[in-house]
């Protein structure tokens, strides 16, 4: 077996032996690089050889039938130009429920500096977690990983800081960079074979989940489900940047009795992919459906696209001081409603700000804002410099608190053009729709990073 390179080897090349004898008595940081398959024929074997601070590099594009545990603060990555696959062992009579598991802070699976690692679930229904993490402090990172062949049980992003008792966490960070998740296609004749809830932030327990430049598409039901947890510690922070997140029903849903989360979303596309024909059968949905109390949402340069007959954004007005602010966003529902306020289920002040945004539908009888029965005296609105379809009976026609002084209300419906990759921005042929924000720039997601954006400071109220 070839020796793997270490920092000590490099020192030998640079210094004479007497000096080296002096150096070896001084503690030094480990920085070994262990290669697969030259130093170990298996990934798990290479991890067993590693110590904290080491790097395990897969040097080929072979298929490795194994699940791995990064039980040390090490980095696992593919060599540049290589695309190895970790495939679930369906023949294992004692299966595990994960593919890559990081139970210690400082571990990193995958790297943008190398090739992409593919995680293949082999369509095995016994898998419940592709990428699982359980840490109480510090950070774990998953990066440049493609996940395929999942099953309905899959939640491949399911951070859980304290799985033993649900009372810890608080300072841990779970970061996912450049992750691609695709629907399974394991059973083409069944619509139930795809991932239902790929991302579950239910048990953050005060920790932070970061999603950067992730593409999670074709989830059978909801791409992100925050719900079903009534433990007091079920709260935290979710930061989403540069992502494309789609679900057949919803991209994101916050369901009771889930606890408060602060959501920061930017330069992202959220899409409900259900078709108008399916909406007639299965009901209407939305890219983001908020029904749990205390959610705080800040979204900038984000597209909310409803492809069915639902709503682009549907706050169910859960009460308990919900705060939702949107700046330079697109709320697009060609066959439905851009924004609908749902009935209040709990008392409390609700604050909604939509500014410099486009609320668009192709139905001339549908308004930009709907749901008048949801309003109460405690609600606070700050909506201005928007392009809003007036339609018939819209809240912006009857409630001055909703309609902004500078809103642009086109007489007709603007031409609607489907988004174009890679930035997913929308374009309209009516020039007036591209002017009028509070900084003199364009409305909607046309705002580019670096241009002025406005986040509402609710302390002013």
Local structure of 369: helix, strand or coil: strand
Mind listing the pLDDT tens digit for each residue in 365-374? Answer: 777 787 766 6
Q: Parallel, antiparallel, or unpaired for β 311-315 and 288-290?
A: parallel
CATH 2.160.20 in the chain: give the residue spans: 31-460
Query: Under DSSP, is residue 381 helix (H, G, I), strand (E, B) or coil?
Result: strand
Q: What is the pLDDT of residues 378-391, one digit of tens each?
A: 778 888 888 876 55
Residue 238 token pair: 């979710």
Place 301 in a pLDDT band, splitting at 50, 70 and 90: confident
Q: Are 336 and 306 in contact (CB under 8 A)?
A: yes
The answer to whether the beta carbons of residues 233 and 166 sit under 8 Å apart is yes
* 3-class state of residue 446 by DSSP: helix
Q: Assign 99 a pLDDT band (cuts: 50, 70, 90).
A: confident
Per-residue pLDDT at 27: 46
- The pLDDT of residue 17 is 41
- Asked if 373 and 367 touch (Cβ cutoff 8 Å), the reply is no
Angle at 270 between CA 267 and CA 275, to 5 degrees: 145
Tell me the CA distances in angstroms from 277 to 51, 55, 273, 309, one per residue in order. 56, 51, 11, 9
- CATH code of the domain occupying 31-460: 2.160.20
pLDDT at 315 over 80: yes
pLDDT in tens, 217-250: 878 888 899 887 666 667 889 999 989 898 889 9
Calpha distance 60→40 (Å, rounded): 13
Mean pLDDT score across all residues of the chain: 76
At 42 the pLDDT is 96
**Element containing residue 49 per DSSP (H, E):** helix 43-49
Burial class (CB in 10 A: 0-12, 13-18, 19+), 373: exposed
Most confident of 285-294, 349-358, 409-418: 285-294
Q: Among the listed ranges 42-46, 51-55, 207-211, which one has the minimum average pLDDT value?
A: 207-211
What secondary structure letter does DSSP report for 278? H
pLDDT score at 129: 65
What gap in Å lies between CA 438 and CA 73, rounded to an integer? 47
Longest dimension (CA), the chain: 88
């Amino acid at each position: 077996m070839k020796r793997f390179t270490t920092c000590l080897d490099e020192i030998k090349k640079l210094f004479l032996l007497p000096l080296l004898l002096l150096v070896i008595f001084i503690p030094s940081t480990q920085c070994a690089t262990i290669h697969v398959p030259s130093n170990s024929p298996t990934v798990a074997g290479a991890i067993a050889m590693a110590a904290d601070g080491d790097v395990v590099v897969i040097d080929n594009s072979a298929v490795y039938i194994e699940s791995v545990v990064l039980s040390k603060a090490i980095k696992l990555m593919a060599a540049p130009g290589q695309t190895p696959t970790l495939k679930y062992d369906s023949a294992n009579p004692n299966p595990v429920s994960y593919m890559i598991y990081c139970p210690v802070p400082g571990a990193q699976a995958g790297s943008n500096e190398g090739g992409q690692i593919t995680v293949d679930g082999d369509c095995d229904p016994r898998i419940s977690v592709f990428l699982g993490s359980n840490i109480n402090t510090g950070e774990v990172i998953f990066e440049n990983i493609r996940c395929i062949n999942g099953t309905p049980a899959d939640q491949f992003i399911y951070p859980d800081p304290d799985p033993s008792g649900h009372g810890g966490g608080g300072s841990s960070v779970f970061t996912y960079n450049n992750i691609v998740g695709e629907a399974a296609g394991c059973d083409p004749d069944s619509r139930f074979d795809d991932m239902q809830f790929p991302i579950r932030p239910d048990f953050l327990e005060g920790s932070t989940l970061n999603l950067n430049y992730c593409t999670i598409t074709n989830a059978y039901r909801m791409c992100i489900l925050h719900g079903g947890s009534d433990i007091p510690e079920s709260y935290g922070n979710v930061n989403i940047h540069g992502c494309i997140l789609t679900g057949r029903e919803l991209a994101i849903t916050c369901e009771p009795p889930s606890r408060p989360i602060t959501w920061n979303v930017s330069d992202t596309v959220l899409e409900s992919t259900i078709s108008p024909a399916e909406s007639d059968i299965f009901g209407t949905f939305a890219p983001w459906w908020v029904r749990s109390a205390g959610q705080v949402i800040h979204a900038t340069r984000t597209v909310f696209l409803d492809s069915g007959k639902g709503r682009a954004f549907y706050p169910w007005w859960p009460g308990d001081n919900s705060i939702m602010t949107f700046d330079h966003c697109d709320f697009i529902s060609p066959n439905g409603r851009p924004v609908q306020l749902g009935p209040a289920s709990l008392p409390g002040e609700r604050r909604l700000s939509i500014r410099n945004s486009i609320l668009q539908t192709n139905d001339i009888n549908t308004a930009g804002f709907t749901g008048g029965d949801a309003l109460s005296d405690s609600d606070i609105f700050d909506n201005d410099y928007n392009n809003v379809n007036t339609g018939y009976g819209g809240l912006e026609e009857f409630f001055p608190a909703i309609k902004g002084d500078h809103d642009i209300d086109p007489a007709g419906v603007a031409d609607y053009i489907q988004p174009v990759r890679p930035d997913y921005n929308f374009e309209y042929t009516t020039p007036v729709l591209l002017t009028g924000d509070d900084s003199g720039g364009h409305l909607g997601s046309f705002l580019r990073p670096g241009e002025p954006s406005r986040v509402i400071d609710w302390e002013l109220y």
